[in-house]
A and B are shown apart, each in its own frame.
Chain A
Amino acid sequence: MTLLETDDLTVRFGEKTVLDGIGFTLAAGERLGLIGASGSGKSLTALAILGLLPEEAQVRGSIRLDGVELLGRGDRELSRLRGNRMAMVFQEPLSALNPLMRVGNQIGGPLRLHRGLSRKKALAEAISLAEQVGLPDPENLVRAYPHQLSGGQRQRVGIAMAVASRPALLLADEPTTALDVTVQAEILGLLDDLVTEQGTALLFVTHDLAVLAQVVRRVLVMGEGRVLESGSLETILRKPAHPYTRNLLELARAASFHRAPEAAR
């Protein structure tokens, strides 16, 4: 069953076309990796789906969630879907959390908004979510401020906030880029588990092939605002059709080659 479908999605800033005819589908519970170089339009694709592009962006085409067109819908209507049917995990866990709001309130925010939970119930839910995402001492942790947590813990908070109302679609925009390698693996494992457990569809944005291989099997390669190719991870790794993809693969191999001696120590 198709959950998300974009068709000829085109975004322009004035004369500059930043997304050019993006089309893909995502079934319920399915995972899709979105890979491409910096500036290729990965983040904008995710933001377009949420309806959170900057005001000056001109958008054409179609984005359907559960068969319903999202483009052209008002902000009020969209905000009922955000954090509810679809949610997002951001790249920078520190800046994506309000520095002056206690962690528990941030995790419970979507629940208060969409489920109408009382403050007390939302906090209880936040504690159990904090436990689910593997945060230590959840009862006390929900009363902490973001700066009192480690990077990995902050990203766990970001994930808890995103999955709080069990969205059908989870967008993750480079959720591990800001973290160091050992923490990366833990966070990827957590995302993997949660998505499997909740049957959530996942759109995973990254420019790191090694990371991608840990969470998805189907991949969309983007370059300069266009979909260059798509297919299973194996096909893309073994027979990249596009020179751009080949280049990306080479870069990734070179990077892992350079990383290898360190890993051996």
Chain B
Amino acid sequence: MRRAARRWRTLRTVASAVVRRPTGAFGVAVAAVLVLAAVVSVWWTPFDPQATDVRAAWLLPFQRGHLLGTDRVGHDQFSQLLAGSRETLFAATGSASIAAVLGIALGVTAVLSPRPVGAVVVQAIDLVIAFPGLLLAMVLAAVYGGSLATVVAAVGISAGVGVARVSRAEIARILSQDYVLAARAAGASTGRIVRKHLLPNIAPTLIVQLSLVMALAVLAEATLTYLGYGSSPSTPSWGGLLHTQQDYIRVRPLLVIWPGLAVALTVLGFNLLGDALRDATDPRLRSGVRS
């Protein structure tokens, strides 16, 4: 219980340091809106996002209660965006989770294993990293059929290997620090070193990387769905919207602008959030806090 209370206090300090920066506040707002939209859309959207109604086609924003208007078949665009945010959120969190676990596991193995094993892992990382993530997504889609899961797996794996490569130097740097030697001199085991010394110290850089992975995943999900390698067109998604509406870009440019704006703002938000988090998780950069 006390432990939970202490964690909570640290979390609050970090959170307040994040929102104190305008960029951080923006990042938090974007992430919050995305989560909120995804959750709310499960139970409620202004209109049924899938309902077609030819009599309500081509409506402009605010016409007949359609906040962002409707398309050729009368799909309410705001409802579609709301429902599509679920795909986006899942792509971001799923990819980042896979990338984090894979990246840390590979990085620690590469650094801590005895020489020959570590070298093999490093070689493997360099080999896999040369394989483009987009290609991996297409291969997975060809084998298993395109879906959100194949997109998440492809982005998670290719980003995870990237995280491993970027983190490896940082992991090696941290593990060669005096305080790790001092901890070993005080009797700490390797597991304890990883938990108490490596993870907290790599968290700042890892968080930045993961927020970039999230940004990348949002973009990749939209791109792959747009190209037809993601979830089926019947599932509302931002990439799917871009795909369907591009044919009418001359008639109704707004229809492409909404999902495009949603993707752009989300990508920007995750990038800014990452920067703010990096500064906030390091007590040396967290100004004026002494609890």
- Report if A84-B187 is in contact (Cβ < 8 Å); known contacts: A100-B201, A148-B290: yes
Q: Knowing A100-B200, A101-B196, say if A114 contacts B187 (CB, 8 Å).
A: yes
**26 intermolecular pairs with C-beta atoms under 8 Å apart:** A50-B184, A50-B185, A76-B189, A79-B187, A81-B187, A82-B185, A82-B187, A84-B187, A88-B182, A90-B181, A90-B182, A95-B177, A95-B179, A96-B178, A97-B182, A98-B197, A98-B201, A99-B201, A100-B283, A101-B200, A109-B188, A109-B196, A147-B283, A147-B284, A161-B186, A162-B186
* A113→B179 contact, CB < 8 A: no
B116 at the binding interface (Cβ < 8 Å) = no
- Name the B residues within 8 Å of A100 (CB-CB): 200-201, 282-283
Residue A119, interface by CB 8 Å: yes
User: Among the listed B179, B185, B201, B290, which residue makes an inter-chain contact with A88, where contact means beta carbons less than 8 Å apart?
Assistant: B185
A92 adjacent to chain B (CB < 8 Å):
yes
B197 touches A110 (CB 8 A): no
Specify which of B114, B178, B196, B282 is in contact with A92 (CB 8 Å cutoff): B178
Of the candidates A95, A110, A145, which one forms a contact with B186 in the assembled complex, judged by CB atoms under 8 Å apart?
Answer: A110
- B15 in the interface, Cβ–Cβ < 8 Å? no
Q: Which residues of A contact B200 (CB under 8 A)?
A: 98, 100-101
Interface residues in A88-141 by Cβ distance below 8 A to B read: 88, 90, 92, 95-101, 109-110, 113-114, 119-120
The complex places the Cα of A108 from the Cα of B282 at a distance, in Å, of 22
Chain A residues within 8 Å of B187, by CB = 79-84, 110, 113-114
- Number of A interface residues at 8 Å Cβ cutoff, please give it: 36
**Nearest Cβ in chain A — how far from B258, in angstroms?**
42
Q: Judge whether B183 is part of the interface by a CB distance below 8 angstroms.
A: yes
How far apart sit A52 and B283, CA to CA, in the bound complex (Å)? 30
**Taking each of B182, B190, B284, B291, which has the highest tally of chain A beta carbons within 10 Å of its own beta carbon?**
B182
Residue numbers of B with Cβ under 8 A of A are 2-3, 114-115, 177-179, 181-190, 192, 196-197, 200-201, 282-284, 290-291
Q: Which residue of B lies closest to A84 (CB)?
A: B187
| Other-chain contact of B179, A50, A79, A98 (Cβ < 8 Å) | A98
Chain A residue nearest to B177 in the complex (CB): A95
Query: Which A residues lie within 8 Å of B282 (CB)?
Result: 100
Cα A22 to Cα B197 in complex, Å, equals 33
Residues of A within 8 A of B184 (CB): 50, 52, 79, 82
Q: Smallest CB-CB separation from A173: which chain B residue?
A: B185
Closest Cβ–Cβ distance, residue A6 to chain B (whole Å): 17
Partner of B291, one of A98, A143, A147, A158: A143
Nearest Cβ in chain A — how far from B12, in angstroms?
A: 15
A144, closest chain B residue (CB): B290
